[in-house]
Structure 1
Amino acid sequence: MKKIALALGALAAFALVAVAIAWPREDFIPATSPAAWAATPDNIARGAYLARAGDCVACHTARGGAEYAGGRALDTPFGRLYGPNLTPDADTGIGNWSADDFWNALHNGKSRDGRLLYPAFPYTNYTKVSRTDSDALFAYLRSLPAQRQPNRPHELDFPYDQQLLLAGWRLLYFKPATFTPQPARGLAWNRGAYLVEGLGHCSACHSTRNRLGATGDTLSGGLIPTIGWYAPSLTASGEAGLGDWDQEHIVALLSTGISPRGSATGPMAEVVARSLQHLTQADVGAMATYLKSLPSTETKASDGGERAGEQLLAEGRRLYGSYCVDCHGADGKGKTPAYPPLAGNRAVTLTPAVNAIRIVLNGGFPPATAGNPRPYGMPPYSHELNDAQVAAVLTYVRASWGNAAPPVSVPDVNRYRSVPLD
């Protein structure tokens, strides 16, 4: 036992030395001047806009709590984390932070006390935020009413609660960076890239994660851990991506939550409601320009290889006629903007079919936005349709009007019937 203890101790010491040697040095960019984070109306207004662009309020506001006072639970495969208090309370918030401290958190993923931050706070994206924008964000957060609300400690499983393990993760998957414009691409493309890759942190949901929680940052789509929604590809990948979308339809979806190609539901509805609808049309258009330019990646859309039986399709057709046809039409084209089309709608043809299953079971509700203040919602059918019926109607929809997606199985429906809504 003594030899084992000595060996483990030597291994731990070696790991610490290896991390110290190979650790990426902090990248520090100074502020232009103290005026950059001064509490001026211009700085505060700019910071408020940037906070909207980053959807900061979503993770730093508990349900029913004061904005930015923290406490919202973020479930991960490694345990539960809680968004911290970002109000200027001296004891529980960032009242004693400096602009440099705040920049260090965004850019280097380190707290004021030197603690390494968990990447549920997406500093892997925020590292590309400019120092000027960081200072404006800091000015805005310092202008908020101070809320005395202690931060809840994270509830992570061992060994994921160990800073040494997090240091190793950062060594593998994180390096401080800055956004490098590509002048040949034009102003709109560069602005869109900055927002999508940086503040918008789109890859946090729209990229596949490995077993250690790191993303490939490809925007090629992925299942969002623990909440059971699939974030579709944002690349030009066929049915699964945005390649054949008109740019104005992307802009409409991002800014209003609805478009002729589909509606934002689930987690994306919250992003549109709390963040994207508040951006300027120029910025949303820039994001669409950048997304339209992304190269195709391997698609997870259906390949039509598996075919449903005639009996299953007949049952699905019958159920569609009873529950769906009045809104979505016999031709699956829907009635824009109230009822989205099902023909050619990637939300119903994606594989896995998790989004379509959850919408049938729990309903589909686009956000209320300035551009669509009275959205039409789809009622839930979990209380009316059993697993076999949900599978049948979705199989029919996924095989009709030019759609060519594989059948939905009863176990698939059952798996997501019990997944929490949030």
Structure 2
Amino acid sequence: MKRILILLAAILVIGVGVLFYLGHREDDTGSTASSAPIQGDAFARGAYLVRAGNCMGCHTARGGGSYAGGRAVQTPFGAVYSTNLTPDAQTGLGNWTPDDFWRALHNGKSRDGRLLYPAFPYPNYTRVSREDADAMFAFLRSIEPVKQENRQPDLRFPYNQRPLLAVWRALYFQPGVYQPDTAQNAEWNRGAYLVQGLGHCNACHSPRSALGGTRQKTDLAGALLPAQDWYAPSLLSPAEAGMADWPVQEIASLLHSGIAPRAVTSGPMADVVRGSLQYLDDKDIRAMSVYLKALPQAASAPSRKADTGGPENAAILANGAALYEKHCAECHGANGAGKPPGIPALAGNRSVVQEPAVNAIRAVLHGGYPPSTKDNPQPFGMPPFGNFLSDIEVAAAVSYIRTSWGNSGDLVSAPEVARHRAVNLD
């Protein structure tokens, strides 16, 4: 018995040691900065790459200084506050070196060696090259310093115990610069580099485990974003946001302007287009489009027809039809055809019939607003109806839209609408 206990203790110690090693390991690729001086064009490239990563989107609080941090990144475990990226010596990156910045981006560790919370998407940024990281750091060192103290995360126990991040990292993080796929051409690889790295698309579009980790096998397979009350659709499903059958130029239009003949961005994706993608050059947008178009697509589910039978459902849909005619038909048409690309069609619209129905419900409650971009400076917007329609009425209108003109979504209920109405988002 004693020997068994000793053996179990030894296995436990070894297991803890392995977890500690895996959780703290670093990839030393590019660990030393280039000795070549940063030239003027590198600053411009750095500004471009920082835009590509949408760093300002998280590292600028509402009403705060640009890149000065302090914005809450809401997670299922609590809030993590973005840090100050300005070159202030006391509160920002003023005393950091290019090696320190590389370590944070590539290995997910702060200047003092602390493990960083993955609300900062270093599982994606680890793919960024050392040359690009140095250019980004050079740009950040050139902006106006802002003295603003960093806030500690506000996380529930035990997620507020930073040493436990070693376990998370052992399970879900492996550092490594993007390695080109030799079976693909340069354009595809450039798109993969941007989508997988700075674009960190799978941070929203991938399902997460109970501990908030993503698995490669479900990369970009769609996910509910509970902290934002939004569904990021699967890029691998033709029934959701898969684009294998789209022309490349239509995908590029959606990424660059926020609108395309078959879709319009709204919610968190509109923020990404507004703050980041519209500033990328045509060559990079095309490369991302080529990569997204080439993603393997899951088999389409068998077509189905929603259950709309019975007097109760008939009454709901009749109410929904009346509400649609009164509030929606003027723009979207009696036949749901819309006026693409400015006013999207509802007939055959994948986002309308997706499960869960959160995006359609939120659009009716809170409005739909494509981003204002260089290519579409005055987009059409849909006003919110939640301030004068009840939960029952919103549910009826959404149910009618999800089941009309060949759409095959299920009906939604008033309690379901109430849950989304109650979510208070900053």
Alignment TM class, shorter chain as reference: over 0.9
Shift of 1:385: 1.2
2:183 is paired with a residue whose SS is helix
Q: After the TM superposition, which of the residue ranges 107-116 and 175-184 deviates more from structure 2?
A: 175-184
Letter in 2 for 1:104: R
Change in Cα spacing, 1:374 to 1:22, as seen in structure 2 (3 Å) is closer
1:106 is paired with a residue whose SS is helix
Who is 1:149 aligned against?
Answer: 148
Given that 1:333 and 1:343 are in contact with CA atoms closer than 8 Å, whether structure 2 keeps it comes out as yes
1:352 pairs with 2:356: yes
Who is 1:5 aligned against?
Answer: none
Write out per-residue CA displacement over residues 205-236 of structure 1, whole angstroms, 9 at most, x where no aligned residue. Answer: 01111110012341011101311000011124
Q: After the TM superposition, which of the residue ranges 256-265 and 323-332 deviates more from structure 2?
A: 256-265
Shift of 1:39: 4.5
Given that 2:23 and 2:165 are in contact with CA atoms closer than 8 Å, whether structure 1 keeps it comes out as no
Q: What CA distance in whole angstroms lies between the structure 1 residues aligned with 2:302 and 2:258?
A: 22
Letter in 2 for 1:91: Q
2:318 is paired with a residue whose SS is helix
Q: What CA distance in whole angstroms lies between the structure 1 residues aligned with 2:316 and 2:160?
A: 48
Shift of 1:395: 1.1
Letter in 2 for 1:26: E
Shift of 1:370: 0.4
Who is 1:167 aligned against?
Answer: 166
Shift of 1:18: 3.8
Shift of 1:57: 0.5
Q: What CA distance in whole angstroms lies between the structure 1 residues aligned with 2:412 and 2:247?
A: 29
Shift of 1:330: 1.3
Q: What CA distance in whole angstroms lies between the structure 1 residues aligned with 2:370 and 2:152?
A: 33
Change in Cα spacing, 1:200 to 1:351, as seen in structure 2 (3 Å) is same
Letter in 2 for 1:200: G
Letter in 2 for 1:324: C
* 1:23-62 equivalent positions in 2, closer than 5 A: 23=23, 25-30=25-30, 31=32, 33-35=34-36, 38-62=37-61
1:418 pairs with 2:418: no
1:75 is paired with a residue whose SS is strand
Specify every segment of 5 or more residues in structure 1 that has no aligned partner in the other structure, as ranges. Answer: 1-8
1:221 pairs with 2:222: yes
Who is 1:286 aligned against?
Answer: 287
Who is 1:238 aligned against?
Answer: 239
Q: What CA distance in whole angstroms lies between the structure 1 residues aligned with 2:77 and 2:381?
A: 34
Change in Cα spacing, 1:155 to 1:58, as seen in structure 2 (3 Å) is same
Letter in 1 for 2:120: F
Write out per-residue CA displacement over residues 184-221 of structure 1, whole angstroms, 9 at most, x where no aligned residue. Answer: 31111111101000110000001111110012341011
Who is 2:248 aligned against?
Answer: 247
Q: What CA distance in whole angstroms lies between the structure 1 residues aligned with 2:318 and 2:241?
A: 27
* 1:61-100 equivalent positions in 2, closer than 5 A: 61-100=60-99
Q: What CA distance in whole angstroms lies between the structure 1 residues aligned with 2:66 and 2:173?
A: 29
Given that 1:235 and 1:295 are in contact with CA atoms closer than 8 Å, whether structure 2 keeps it comes out as yes
Letter in 2 for 1:332: G
Q: What CA distance in whole angstroms lies between the structure 2 residues aligned with 1:240 and 1:39?
A: 40
Shift of 1:269: 1.0
Shift of 1:240: 4.5
1:381 pairs with 2:380: no
Given that 2:263 and 2:341 are in contact with CA atoms closer than 8 Å, whether structure 1 keeps it comes out as no
Who is 1:260 aligned against?
Answer: 261
How many residues align? The count is 412
Q: What CA distance in whole angstroms lies between the structure 1 residues aligned with 2:11 and 2:79?
A: 29
Given that 1:85 and 1:151 are in contact with CA atoms closer than 8 Å, whether structure 2 keeps it comes out as yes
Given that 1:236 and 1:292 are in contact with CA atoms closer than 8 Å, whether structure 2 keeps it comes out as no
Shift of 1:262: 2.1
Match of 2:316 among 312, 317, 321: 312
Letter in 2 for 1:327: C
Who is 2:345 aligned against?
Answer: 341
Q: After the TM superposition, which of the residue ranges 243-252 and 161-170 deviates more from structure 2?
A: 243-252
Who is 1:297 aligned against?
Answer: 298
Shift of 1:239: 4.2
Q: After the TM superposition, which of the residue ranges 175-184 and 21-30 deviates more from structure 2?
A: 21-30
Q: After the TM superposition, which of the residue ranges 43-52 and 238-247 deviates more from structure 2?
A: 238-247
1:74 is paired with a residue whose SS is strand
1:17 is paired with a residue whose SS is helix
1:245 is paired with a residue whose SS is coil
Who is 1:4 aligned against?
Answer: none
Shift of 1:375: 1.2
Identity %: 55
Write out per-residue CA displacement over residues 25-54 of structure 1, whole angstroms, 9 at most, x where no aligned residue. Answer: 31112356222xx44321110000001110
Please give the TM-score of this superposition, normalised by the length of structure 1: 0.92
Shift of 1:336: 2.3
2:287 is paired with a residue whose SS is helix
Letter in 1 for 2:253: A
Q: What CA distance in whole angstroms lies between the structure 2 residues aligned with 1:121 and 1:113?
A: 16
Shift of 1:291: 0.8
Given that 1:301 and 1:349 are in contact with CA atoms closer than 8 Å, whether structure 2 keeps it comes out as no
Specify every segment of 5 or more residues in structure 2 that has no aligned partner in the other structure, as ranges. Answer: 1-8
Please give the TM-score of this superposition, normalised by the length of structure 2: 0.92
Shift of 1:272: 0.5
Who is 1:128 aligned against?
Answer: 127
Given that 1:73 and 1:81 are in contact with CA atoms closer than 8 Å, whether structure 2 keeps it comes out as yes
Letter in 1 for 2:404: S
